[in-house]
Structure 1
Amino acid sequence: MWLVMLLAFAMPVSIVCWLVSLVYTIFNEGSYCINPWRWLVAVIAPVIITRWGLKKRSLDKSGAIAGLLVGFVLTISSLCFFACLLTFFILASRATKYKSATKKRFEEDFKEGGQRNWIQVLCNGGIAAQFAILYMLDSGCVERVVDFKAWYNSSLFSMAVLGALACSCGDTFASEIGTVFSINTAPRLITSLRIVPKGTNGGITFIGTLSSALGGTFVGVAYYLTLLMCTSDYQLQKSPAQWLLIPTGTIAGLLGSTIDSYLGALFQYSGFDREKKCIVERPGPNVEFISGSEVLDNHSVNLLSALLTGLITPKIAFYIWQSVL
């Protein structure tokens, strides 16, 4: 019933948006207008996903509102971006809830169900949405192949979106999956490689590192498969090999997790609370210092990691495509 009501609302909204964009295009003598189907998908898809997130308790109400905004921007700009966001959201939610009882033992701020609020949504998807806006301003709302010779700017911005989302997915996989499967392996601080307690900011394991690469790979695969479905065979034949999106996502996931670990080790406080028997991010009378400083919190680290990875990934992608051509 709710789906029928959603369609009844979304269809006239999408038509009105299309008419507005059409009038704007005509008066500004433009040649491109966003079609009503894209408006319809951009309205419906984020609503369905956020409703699912609320039902599964992957989002709270504030996170759902922020998710609608981020989802709309990424969907209207390119379905490839939406596919990456959807992949990250579903897999990250599953990874967060996986063996949550084990994680609860050494995480002070553990939240049952892994619900994300608006701050977490914007820190993980907001940077990608900003790059998507730059993509729209340069190329419009369209799925375009990665070709640094023919479409340099659009390729640059699209790889920035891929990098930001692969970073978020890779970091989530490293912290959520790596923690569980490395239960018998003590992590090492990335800056000094000394053994630290589980849950320490900047602590890495071999399985966690592999998990971050896997998370980025999933995002790259989602982008690649969606591009194949949304792009004509003629355009694909004229363009460079698009399967390179997959290793680009893998590298971005690994890079993002590494940047996140370095920032966490240097600028996030980590201490062991002898009374609670867990890692805390604030000093106190019963807290034994481990590493870092009180400069950034976890949200800030995630935001900066996504930003830096989004800025670096286009350069990496450029050299990957150049080496294959």
Structure 2
Amino acid sequence: MTIFLRNARYFLPQVLILLFFMTDLDHNTYKKYIEMITNIVILSLIICISLAFWIMSMTASTYYGNLQPISPWRWLFSVVVPVLIVSNGFKKKSLNHTGALGGLVVGFILTVANFSFFTSLLMFFLSSSRLTKWKGETKKRLDSEYKEGGQRNWIQVFCNGAVPTELALLYMIENGPGEIPIDFSKQHTASWMCLSLLAALACSAGDTWASEVGTVLSKSPPRLITTWEKVPVGTNGGVTMVGLASSLLGGTFVGIAYFLTQLVFVNDLDVSAPQWPIIAFGGLAGLLGSIVDSYLGATMQFSGLDESTGMVVSSPANEKQVGEQVNCERAENRVPLSHCRLPAKAGPR
């Protein structure tokens, strides 16, 4: 306490002098000072949080005996890197407030569990964010619900990240944090969890790549996956060859990220099963994920045509249903459905 008071007597006048001179600074310089102090405070909090996690890890390993403690550097990396990535995504409008909070949780858990999980998630997020912004003006004319930069919220983060997060937690319970080769002869359950998590991320990437690339580059109209009839662009369940090829590439991209991380961080690859099939597995998961998503969209999601804009929308208000003929009263911006026999509920994904 005495040392604290002595230090306070020394530093307090310095802080007061700094605040006094800051009152005479222009607005931009003052803003830079505030930003610098804020970054210092955030960094200090991150270090404290990482050390707290490390202490809890050491305590748990001492108490239970069979748990391996997680290094402080892994804790620090697992906290700092997701914060930086999410902050950058929030600034670029790839995430809103709720999406940023959800992304922090997902990123932290996957990074602690396995760096291969982290790089797969990172490549999915970065590529999807970039593709969402790509040719945004064209997509704005085709999609009534298009948002600048994507603006993913907590619901989208939950849909894409809930299953990988659950699998990462189960992986840590089964194997503990760390990277392992995928080898069913040695670690059967943990290998299945790794492939399941990779498949979940590859499916999300494949679906996103298909919808973002196929909508713009496809020269032919999408076809409904259940009946193969031509449908308007933007209809749930519609597919194109460009979109399917893009989904294959999206899953392969995530698989390559996982494979390269294995090469860097796994030590006993020379005595383990070959890891290169991970790439093919990722591509196949991306393609199948996109196909399943399109089938669910064709059979379970609503699609309607807003006549005032000519866009396909997902809300049943003030538009005609893209589907089976039903009885419907005439209303403003709506025509009798007997005049518009369009295939049911499809999309450009």
Change (3 A) 1:147 1:208: same
Determine helix, strand or coil for the equivalent of 2:276.
Answer: helix
| Residue of structure 1 in register with 2:269 after alignment | 236
* Deviates most, 18-27 or 190-199: 18-27
What is the CA-CA distance between 1:13 and the residue it aligns to? Answer: 2.0
For the 8 Å contact 1:267–1:292, the answer to whether it is kept is no
CA distance in 1, matches of 2:256, 2:72: 27
Match among 229, 250, 261 for residue 226 of structure 1:
261
**Residue type of the alignment partner of 2:162:** G
Instruction: Please give the alpha-carbon distance, in whole angstroms, between the structure 1 residues aligned to 2:58 and 2:149.
Output: 44
Distance 1:9 1:185 in 2: 53
Seen in structure 2, the aligned counterparts of structure 1 residues 156 and 3 have a Cα distance that, compared at 3 Å, is farther
Q: How does 1:67-146 map to 2 (within 5 A)?
A: 67-146=103-182
Q: What displacement does 1:270 show? A: 1.2
Tell me the CA shift for residue 3 of structure 1. Answer: 5.8
Runs of 4+ in structure 1 over 3 Å off: 1-7, 290-293
2:306 alignment partner, one of 264, 273, 277: 273
Determine the structure 2 residue equivalent to 1:192: 227
Q: Deviations over 1:76-135 (max 9, x none)?
A: 100100101110110000000111111111212111221111111111112111111111
Q: TM-score by structure 2 length? A: 0.80
User: Given residue 279 of structure 1, which amino acid in structure 2 is its aligned partner?
Assistant: V
SS in 2 for 1:161: helix
Give 2:245's aligned residue.
Answer: 210
The equivalent residue for 2:207 is 171
Instruction: Note closer, same or farther for the CA distance 1:117–1:31 as it changes in structure 2 (3 Å cut).
Output: closer
Residue in structure 2 matched with residue 250 of structure 1 by the alignment: 283
The alignment covers a number of residue pairs equal to 292
Separation in 2, partners of 1:110, 1:81: 29
Aligned to 1:105, the other structure's residue is in SS state helix
Query: Deviation of residue 28 (structure 1)?
Result: 1.3
How far is the alpha carbon of 1:178 from its aligned partner? 1.0
Aligned pair 1:150/2:183, yes or no? no
**Cα separation, partners in 2 of 1:147 and 1:275, compared to 1, 3 Å:** same
What is the identity, as a one-letter code, of the residue corresponding to 1:269? F
Go from structure 1 to structure 2 and tell me whether the alpha carbon gap of 1:4 and 1:220 turns closer, same or farther (over 3 Å shift): farther
Partner residue of 2:315 out of 282, 289, 314: 282
| Residue aligning to 2:70 | 34
- Cα offsets for 1:176-229 (capped at 9, x unmatched): 0111101x3100000110000001101000000000000001100100111111
Given that 2:302 and 2:321 are in contact with CA atoms closer than 8 Å, whether structure 1 keeps it comes out as no
The unaligned stretches of length 5 or more in structure 2 are 1-35, 324-342
Name the counterpart of 1:305.
none
Decide whether aligned partners of structure 1 residues 226 and 5 sit closer, same or farther in structure 2, where only a CA change above 3 A counts.
Answer: farther
1:310 alignment counterpart: none
Alpha-carbon distance in 1 for matches of 2:51, 2:315:
52
Q: C-alpha deviations, 1:147-171, integer Å up to 9, x for none?
A: 0110111101111110111011110
Q: CA shift at 1:10, angstroms?
A: 2.2
Closer, same or farther: CA 283–84 of 1 in aligned 2, 3 Å: same
For 1:83, the aligned partner's letter is T
Letter in 2 for 1:57: K
The one-character-per-residue Cα deviations of 1:223-259 (angstroms, maximum 9, x if unpaired) are 0111111111xx1001011111100100010011011
Structure 2 residue 97 is matched with structure 1 residue 48: no
CA shift digits 1:47-68 (9 cap, x unpaired): 0000110111101111100100
CA distance in 1, matches of 2:39, 2:116: 24
**Does the aligned pair in 2 maintain the 1:264–1:292 contact within 8 Å?**
no
Between the aligned partners of 2:169 and 2:304, the Cα distance in structure 1 is 39
Amino acid at match of 1:179: T
- Structure 1 gap ranges (5+): 303-325
Letter in 1 for 2:183: D
Matches of 1:283 and 1:21 in 2, distance apart? 52
Alpha-carbon distance in structure 1 between the residues aligned to 2:150 and 2:279 = 28
Quick one: structure 1 residues 31 and 132, their matched pair in 2 at CA, closer, same or farther if it must change by over 3 Å?
A: closer
Q: Which residue of 2 aligns with 1:58?
A: 94
Question: How far off is 1:288 after superposition?
Answer: 4.0
Of residues 184-193 and 17-26 in structure 1, the stretch that sits farther from structure 2 once superposed is: 17-26
CA contact (8 A) 2:304 2:314 kept: yes
Whole-angstrom distance in 1 between the partners of 2:318 and 2:172: 52
Whether the aligned pair in 2 keeps the contact of 1:283 and 1:289 (CA below 8 Å) is no
Partner Cα distance (2:122, 2:234) in 1: 27
Distance 2:187 2:39 in 1: 38
Q: What's the Cα RMSD here?
A: 1.7
Corresponding residue number in structure 2 for 1:262? 295
Distance 1:230 1:9 in 2: 28
Percent identity between the two aligned chains: 46
